[in-house]
Amino acid sequence: MTPIELSTRYGIPRRVHFIGGNGDLPVALITTPHATAEISLYGAHVLRYQPTGENDLLWMSSQSLFEVGKPIRGGVPVCFPWFGPHPTDPAKPMHGFARLRMWDVVETSVAADQAVRIHLGLQDDTETMSLWPHPFRAEMIISVGAKLTVTFKCTNTGDKPLEYGAALHSYFAVEDIERISIRGLRGGKFYDGPNAPTVTEQVDELLWIRKEENRRYIGTTAECTIEDPVAERTLHVGKRGSRVTVVWNPWEQTSKNLPDVPDDGYKTMVCVEAVNAYDDLVRLDPNMSAELEAIISSV
């Protein structure tokens, strides 16, 4: 569907309309009394969430590629049906195929509190079956209001059990990475890096970012807060349906190695992610569903 056709069918006056975004990828523009947002149908990807009177809560790379077949760098990507590299075939796309597919609009609506909800869908086809041989129906339900709520839902539409990994890979905008702190993970056990063989316990109340971090906290459902004193705001990052939280910042060297990240991009972003991976994979019997949710707000 063209943006005009999408607006005709799913637009809501003064609340939802569709445009051709960067790379002519269709984008839903959402306006509410509480916030504005942009959601790309490519990848069901939240590009922007800006509470009224504030700066954007989400970080988007100025060098992000908006090309079919390439991931968008920043915002809130969805990773599915695996997180990170494929466990047995590194030739398959990093973080799965969901962020590389065009999603369908299912419906749009306005809630009683004036939050706007957009519901997107993705189903298996020949291409997905070649990468991951399971029938499924995936949904992204994104609510834009005083909070941003992003819900990923997967249903097993086949006749055999399936297992998958998923993540809502949220990138947050900060003023100065060396000035922020992250609260909510004290006492948490984490793997310090993607190949770390042992588990470490976080003793300190606050996590400060002073180097490249790729921490995988296990067995945690806690809400995290990102304290940003330069911006004079606190970001709240809640979740549901996840027992793994990943904290990631690429720091200087890895930023230089990522073509879609500016060399200094690490200075103004941090990822705090709701994840199903490692020992928290999701197993679904036929006709069963599971949800993963991130709840984001600021004060």
What's the average model confidence in pLDDT over 19-35? 97
Asked if residue 152 belongs to a domain, the reply is yes
Asked if residue 280 belongs to a domain, the reply is yes
Note the pTM of the prediction, 2 decimals.
Answer: 0.96
> What is the Cα–Cα distance from 83 to 169, expressed in whole angstroms?
10
As annotated, the active-site residues are: 169, 273
Asked if residue 239 belongs to a domain, the reply is no
Asked if residue 198 belongs to a domain, the reply is no
Which residue range forms the structural domain that includes residue 21?
A: 3-173+251-298
Percent of the chain's residues with pLDDT above 70:
100
Asked if residue 183 belongs to a domain, the reply is no
pLDDT of 279 > 90? The answer is no
Beta strands in 157-254 (DSSP E): 162-164, 166-168, 171-173, 181-183, 189-192, 200-201, 206-208, 213-218, 224-228, 233-240, 244-249
As for how many domains the chain has, the answer is 1
Asked if residue 137 belongs to a domain, the reply is yes
pLDDT of 198 > 90? The answer is no
Residue 193's pLDDT band (boundaries 50, 70, 90)? confident
pLDDT of 195 > 80? The answer is no
Percent of the chain's residues with pLDDT above 90:
96
What's the average model confidence in pLDDT over 229-244? 97
Residue 15 carries which side chain, given as an amino acid letter?
R
The alpha carbon of residue 56 and the mean position of all alpha carbons in its chain are separated, in whole angstroms, by 15
Question: What CATH number does the domain containing 156 carry?
Answer: 2.70.98.10
> What is the Cα–Cα distance from 85 to 52, expressed in whole angstroms?
37
Looking at residue 57, its pLDDT comes to 98
Asked if residue 208 belongs to a domain, the reply is no
